[in-house]
C-alpha cells in the first residue's frame, strides 16, 4: 500500500501511525529529535522532517498550528508537490482569522492541502471494534489529493465524506468544538419552564401554607413539588414537539403550496423537535421515579398511620368509594401506557434503530404513536385533576392549580391536530404535500 509520512510524534501522530501500520502501510515519522521514541509503534521509522518528507507522497501534519512556521522553515521545499493532510484543531472558535488548513496552504502554496481526520480522536484511532460507523470528513481543493486521502481512509476502515473545497475547512475545524448545539434551545426552555413552575407552585403551596395556615411544609419541596413541576414541564414540552407540525400544516393550507419557506423561527423549532422530545422524556422519567417512591416517604407513611388512628378514634370506617377506585386506577393505568409509548419514541430515536427502519415506519411511530402518547398523557393529567378545579380551595391566592396550566398547550395541539385529520382538510393538506400542481 505504499509509505505514508507523519510529522509529529504526539498522541495523534502515534495513534495514526499504529493504525496505518496495522493496515499494511509503511510509516515514517518526521520529528525533531523527539524524546518519546519508546512510545512509537514498532515498525515505524523516525527521520528529521525534511528527510522524512522525501520518503512519501502523503504527509500527515500531526502538529499544532503554532508550529507550522517551524515546519515551513525546516522542510518547506521538501513539501512542494506533496499531499499535506492537516488534522489540527483549535482550542476555541475563531481563534485565528483563517482556518488552519488554509493557513498551511498559504505557508506552502506548492503543496496540496487536504483537511481530514480532525473529527477523529486519537483514542478512536487506536480502539475500534467491528462497528464501522465513524465518518471522516474531508475537504480540499485538489481532487486527486482528496482521492488519495479517501483511499487511505477506506483502508483504515472508516467511511469518508467529501465536504468540498478547502473553504469548508473552517466548518470542519469548528465541528469538534461544538457542544450540543441543537440541545441548547430545548434545555434552556426546560430550565425556564421548570424555574417558572417551581416558583409558581412554591408560592401557591408552600408559601401560602406558611402565610395563611402558619404551617411549615417546606420539606415538600424535595419530592411533592418536584413531582408536580417535572410532569407539568414534560407534558408541555411534549406538546411543543407536535405544535410546529400542526402549525406547518395550517401554514401550508394558507399558502396553498409546500414550496414556500417557513419563517425562520418555525424552521429552527422543527429542527430541534427531537431534542425537545428527549428532554421531555427525561423529565417524564423523573416524574415516574418520583411517583414510585411516594409510598416509601416518611410523610406518606406517617399520614397513612395517622389517618388509620384517627379513624379508630372516631370509631368509623370510611366506605369504599368505587368511583375513586376507578378514577385513580384509570389515571395510573393510562399514565403507564403513555409512558411506555414515550419510551418507544425514545428508543426509535436512537441512531442505530432509526437507521434500520424506513421513512414510513419512522413516521408511523414518531407522528402517529407520538400523537397517541400526547393524548394519553393529557388524559392522564385530566383524570388526575378530575373535579379539583371545582373546589374553591384550588384557587389559592387566585392562582390556578398547576395541572390546569399544564393542560393548555396539549389541548390546543390536540384540537389543531383533530382539525387537520378531518377528511376534507386532510385531503387538501395531502394534495399540497405531495407537491402536484
Ligand X SMILES: CCCCCCCCCCCCCCCC(=O)OC[C@H](COP(=O)(O)O)OC(=O)CCCCCCCCCCCCCCC
Ligand Y SMILES: NC(=O)c1ccc[n+]([C@@H]2O[C@H](COP(=O)([O-])OP(=O)(O)OC[C@H]3O[C@@H](n4cnc5c(N)ncnc54)[C@H](OP(=O)(O)O)[C@@H]3O)[C@@H](O)[C@H]2O)c1
Binding positions for ligand FAD, rule: CB under 6 A: 121, 123-124, 238, 241-242, 245, 248, 273-274, 277-278, 280-281, 342, 345-346, 349, 354, 359, 362-363, 366-367, 370
Residue number, 9 or 224, with CB nearest to ligand Y = 9
Tell me the residue length of the chain. Answer: 437
Q: One symbol per residue from 321 to 360: x for binding ligand X (CB under 6 A), - otherwise; what is it?
A: -------------------xx-xx-xxxxxx-x--xx---
Residue 323 belongs to what H/E stretch?
helix 322-348
Which spans in 273-321 are helix H? 273-292, 298-314
User: Of 94-102, 196-204, 243-251, 315-323, which segment contacts a copy of itself by CB under 8 A?
Assistant: 315-323
Strand partners, 45: 28
412 binds a copy of itself (CB under 8 A): no
Report how far residue 313's alpha carbon sits from residue 200's, in angstroms, rounded to the nearest whole number: 38
Residues 381-410, mask of contacts with ligand HEM (x by CB under 6 A): x--x-----------------xx--x----
- Selected binder of ligand HEM within 235, 241, 409, 429 (CB under 6 A): 235
* Angle, CA 137 vertex, CA 132 and CA 143 arms, to 5°: 115
Please state the closest distance from residue 57 (CB atom) to ligand X, in A. Answer: 35
Using rule CB under 6 A, residue 287 touches ligand HEM: yes
Q: Within 10 Å of residue 269's Cβ, how many Cβ atoms?
A: 20
Torsion angle in degrees (nearest 10) through CA of 91, 95, 97, 98: 10
Strand order from edge to edge, sheet including 26-30: 45-47, 26-30, 3-7, 58-61, 83-86, 112-116
Which one, 90 or 354, has the nearer CB to ligand FAD? Answer: 354
Give me the DSSP letters along 155-192.
Answer: HTT-EEEE--SGGGHHHHHHGGG---GGGHHHHHHHHH
275 binds ligand X (CB under 6 A): yes
Report how far residue 368's alpha carbon sits from residue 336's, in angstroms, rounded to the nearest whole number. 18
Give the residue among 402, 426, 46 at the shortest CA–CA distance from 236.
402
List the x/- string, 341-380, binding to a copy of itself by CB under 8 A: --xx-----xxxx-xxxxxxx--x----------------
187 interface partner picked from a copy of itself, ligand Y, ligand HEM, none, CB below 5 to 8 A per type: none
- From start to end of 189-306, where are the E strands? none
CB of 303 to a copy of itself, least distance (A): 9
Question: Residues 19, 110, 57, 48: is their CA dihedral positive or negative?
Answer: negative
What phi and psi, each to the nearest 5 degrees, are found at residue 29? -90, 140
Question: Is residue 382 within the footprint of ligand X (CB under 6 A)?
Answer: no
380 forms part of the interface with ligand HEM (CB under 6 A): yes
Partner from ligand X, ligand Y, ligand HEM, none binding residue 235, C-beta < 5-8 Å depending on class: ligand HEM
Q: Report the nearest approach of ligand Y to the CB of residue 120 (Å).
A: 6
Smallest gap, in angstroms, from Cβ of residue 212 to a copy of itself?
18
Which residue in the set 3, 45, 55, 121 belongs to the binding site for a copy of itself (CB under 8 A)? 121
C-alpha cell at 52: 522524512
* Shortest reach from residue 352's CB to a copy of itself, in Å: 4
Can you read off the three cell numbers belonging to residue 64?
Answer: 499544532
**Count, residues near ligand HEM per rule CB under 6 A:** 26
C-alpha cell belonging to residue 104:
498551511
Tell me, by CB under 6 A, how many residues bind ligand X. 21
Name which of 269 and 384 has its Cβ closer to ligand HEM: 384
Give the number of other Cβ atoms within 10 Å of residue 158's Cβ.
22
Tell the smallest beta-carbon distance from residue 100 to ligand Y (Å): 7
Q: Hunting for cell 472508516 — which residue is that?
A: 158
Q: Which is nearer to ligand Y, 31 or 348 (CB)?
A: 31
Coil, strand, or helix at residue 29?
strand
Interface with ligand Y (CB under 6 A): 8-13, 31-32, 34, 62-64, 67, 70, 87-89, 118, 121-122, 435-437
The binding site for ligand HEM (CB under 6 A) comprises 227-228, 231-232, 234-235, 238, 284, 287-289, 291, 293, 332, 335-336, 338-339, 342, 377, 380-381, 384, 402-403, 406
Amino acid at each position: 500500500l505504499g509509505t505514508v509520512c507523519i510529522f509529529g510524534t504526539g498522541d495523534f501522530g502515534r495513534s495514526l501511525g499504529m493504525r496505518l501500520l496495522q493496515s499494511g502501510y509503511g510509516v515514517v515519522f518526521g520529528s525533531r529529535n523527539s524524546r518519546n521514541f519508546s512510545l512509537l509503534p514498532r515498525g515505524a521509522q523516525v527521520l528529521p522532517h525534511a528527510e522524512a518528507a522525501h520518503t512519501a507522497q502523503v504527509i500527515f501534519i500531526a502538529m499544532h498550528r503554532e508550529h507550522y512556521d517551524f515546519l515551513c522553515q525546516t522542510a518547506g521545499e521538501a513539501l512542494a508537490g506533496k499531499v499535506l493532510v492537516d488534522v489540527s484543531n483549535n482550542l476555541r472558535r475563531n481563534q485565528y482569522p483563517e482556518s488552519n488548513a488554509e493557513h498551511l496552504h498559504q505557508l506552502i502554496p506548492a503543496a496540496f492541502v487536504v483537511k481530514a481526520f480532525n473529527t477523529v480522536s486519537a483514542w478512536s484511532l487506536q480502539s475500534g471494534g467491528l462497528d464501522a460507523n465513524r465518518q471522516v470528513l474531508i475537504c480540499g481543493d485538489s481532487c486527486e489529493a482528496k482521492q488519495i486521502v479517501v483511499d487511505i481512509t477506506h483502508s483504515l476502515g472508516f467511511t469518508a465524506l467529501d465536504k468540498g473545497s478547502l473553504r469548508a475547512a473552517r466548518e470542519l475545524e469548528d465541528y469538534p468544538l461544538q457542544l450540543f448545539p441543537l440541545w441548547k434551545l430545548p434545555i434552556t426552555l426546560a430550565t425556564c419552564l421548570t424555574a417558572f413552575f417551581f416558583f409558581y407552585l412554591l408560592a401557591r403551596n408552600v408559601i401560602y401554607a406558611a402565610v395563611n395556615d402558619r404551617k411549615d411544609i417546606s420539606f415538600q419541596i424535595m419530592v411533592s413539588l418536584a413531582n408536580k413541576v417535572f410532569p407539568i414541564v414534560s407534558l408541555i414540552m411534549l406538546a411543543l414537539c407536535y405544535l410546529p407540525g400542526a402549525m406547518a400544516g395550517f401554514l401550508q393550507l394558507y399558502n396553498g403550496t409546500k414550496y414556500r419557506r417557513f419563517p425562520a423561527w418555525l424552521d429552527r423549532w422543527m429542527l430541534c423537535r427531537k431534542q425537545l422530545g428527549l428532554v421531555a422524556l427525561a423529565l417524564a422519567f423523573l416524574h415516574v421515579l418520583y411517583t414510585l417512591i411516594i409510598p416509601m416517604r416518611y410523610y406518606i407513611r406517617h399520614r397513612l398511620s395517622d389517618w388509620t388512628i384517627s379513624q379508630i378514634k372516631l370509631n368509623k370506617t370510611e366506605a369504599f368509594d368505587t368511583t375513586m377506585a376507578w378514577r385513580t386506577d384509570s389515571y395510573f393505568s393510562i399514565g403507564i401506557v403513555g409512558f411506555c409509548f414515550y419510551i418507544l419514541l425514545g428508543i426509535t430515536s436512537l441512531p442505530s434503530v432509526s437507521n434500520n427502519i424506513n421513512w414510513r415506519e419512522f413516521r408511523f411511530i414518531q407522528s402517529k404513536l407520538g400523537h397517541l402518547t400526547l393524548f394519553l398523557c393529557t388524559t392522564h393529567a385530566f383524570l388526575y385533576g378530575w373535579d379539583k378545579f371545582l373546589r374553591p380551595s384550588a384557587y389559592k391566592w387566585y392562582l390556578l392549580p398547576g395541572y390546569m396550566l399544564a393542560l393548555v398547550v396539549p389541548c390546543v395541539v390536540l384540537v389543531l391536530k383533530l382539525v387537520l385529520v378531518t377528511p376534507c382538510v386532510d385531503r387538501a393538506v395531502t394534495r399540497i404535500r405531495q407537491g402536484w400542481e
